[in-house]
Amino acid sequence: MSPEAVSRRWLSLRCWLIRTVCPAAIALIVVLGLLRALGPSETTLDHTAVMVGFAALYFTLFRGGHMLMIRSLHSEMMKNHPDAYRGKLARMTQGDLRRRNLGFTLARVKRDILVEARDADTRKRDQLFNRKK
């Protein structure tokens, strides 16, 4: 999978709206409708509606912050290690990049790339050190 496909499929604003904002709004509407139908009094309904609204807002903002962190990790990898990042993503299957584990998967890819770069640097230094002896 290419980095552009990851951006388009999982990290776009459209994706955040479809997978986070819309379900939260639908759940909010359903819960408020049920509260209105089953609620005993207007005061209780108002307090409960405020709590449900804040919970929906919290969920939406929390998922939005999570999406921003993943997007910044993705753009950092595209800027700093484009070839290695493209190679790692090309070897991944669709199941490896599941929606809930996308941040973890990209963090693991970053760790692997940095470890490989460190190991290559260590091998170079060892070769230079062994030549001097």
Q: Helix or strand or coil: residue 73?
A: helix
User: Over the stretch 70-92, which tens digit does the pLDDT of each residue have?
Assistant: 999 999 999 999 999 999 888 88
Domain positions in the chain are 3-132
Query: What is the predicted pLDDT for the residue at 99?
Result: 58
pTM, rounded to two decimals: 0.73
Instruction: Please check the confidence at residue 133 and state whether its pLDDT lies above 60.
Output: no
107-111: long-range pairs with CB below 8 Å, 24+ = 107/73, 109/77, 109/85, 110/73, 110/76, 110/77, 110/81
Reported confidence tier of residue 58, pLDDT bands at 50, 70, 90: very high
Q: Mind giving me the DSSP string for 21-71?
A: IHHHHHHHHHHHHHHHHH-S-HHHHHHHHHHHHHHHHHHHHHHHHHHHHHH
Tokens representing 16 are 């955040």
Give 94's DSSP letter: T
Query: What is the predicted pLDDT for the residue at 129?
Result: 74
